[in-house]
């Protein structure tokens, strides 16, 4: 669906952030973040180091395959690992009901929540998706209880149709986090939103 159109050294800078590809030095930051109960509140459980290592391998593989991915968010002034944000081509063992697609997603360490960092990083990735990759649509989804992520999706101009809410196929039946909201952003809506 998405050809290998991105430069292999993909890197963006904003006023506060560096958005870049994963490197070996980022593993410890990912492990620490994924072990934090606050970060993992809307996921089935915190992740062990081994689980985070597997996730890290998947992230590295996808960025190599596509030339982009859910990349590192780093503080520009200090080089501190803040989390991740970016575009992803979901490849679950059980397909999502709205796939294939390109999704935007994020995860940050708690002490930088509420500072607009996800929005700042996401706007860069949306521009890249629509202007460089020439996508027609980008989606995002989260557990229905995850009001923080839902608010970000709304601030980015994304739109939810309640008829498209779904049960995540990788979360067992009866689990309180199984129900997910789906938000969509079309290229047309993105351009309207950006041009104001």
Which domain CATH number covers 184?
3.40.630.30
Whether 106 is in a domain gets the answer: yes
Q: CB of 102 within 8 A of CB of 135?
A: yes
Whether 6 is in a domain gets the answer: no
Mean pLDDT of the chain: 91
Token duo for residue 113: 């929540």
Whether 174 is in a domain gets the answer: yes
Q: What is the pLDDT of residue 54?
A: 95
**Lowest mean pLDDT across 1-15, 49-63, 94-108:** 1-15
Q: What is the pLDDT of residue 63?
A: 87
pTM summary value: 0.90
Whether 135 is in a domain gets the answer: yes
What's the mean pLDDT in 114-138?
Answer: 96
- Taking the C-alpha atoms of 114, 49, 9 and 121 in order, what is their torsion angle to the nearest 10 degrees? -10
Contacts of 46 (CB under 8 A, 6+ apart): 34, 35, 36, 37, 40
Indicate the pLDDT class of residue 65, thresholds 50, 70 and 90: confident
Whether 1 is in a domain gets the answer: no
Whether 38 is in a domain gets the answer: yes
Give the Cα-Cα-Cα angle 188, 70, 133 (nearest 5 degrees). Answer: 35
Q: Which domain holds residue 67?
A: 11-195
Number of domains in the chain: 1
């Amino acid at each position: 669906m998405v050809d290998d159109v991105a430069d292999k050294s993909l890197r963006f800078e904003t006023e506060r952030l560096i958005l870049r590809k994963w490197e070996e030095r980022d593993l410890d930051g990912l492990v620490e973040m994924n072990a934090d109960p606050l970060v993992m509140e809307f996921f089935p459980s915190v992740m062990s180091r081994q689980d985070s290592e597997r996730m890290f391998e998947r992230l590295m593989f996808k960025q190599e395959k596509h030339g982009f991915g859910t990349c590192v968010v780093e503080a520009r002034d200090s080089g501190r690992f803040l989390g991740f944000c970016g575009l992803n081509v979901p490849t679950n063992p059980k397909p999502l009901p709205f796939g294939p697609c390109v999704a935007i997603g994020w995860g940050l360490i708690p002490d930088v929540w509420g500072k607009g960092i996800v929005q700042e990083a996401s706007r860069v990735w949306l521009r890249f998706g629509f202007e460089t990759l020439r996508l027609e649509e980008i989606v995002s989804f989260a557990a229905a209880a995850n009001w923080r992520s839902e608010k970000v999706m709304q601030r980015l101009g994304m739109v939810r149709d309640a008829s498209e809410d779904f049960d995540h196929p990788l979360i067992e039946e009866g689990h309180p986090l199984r129900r997910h909201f789906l938000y969509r952003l079309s290229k047309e809506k993105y351009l309207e939103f950006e041009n104001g």
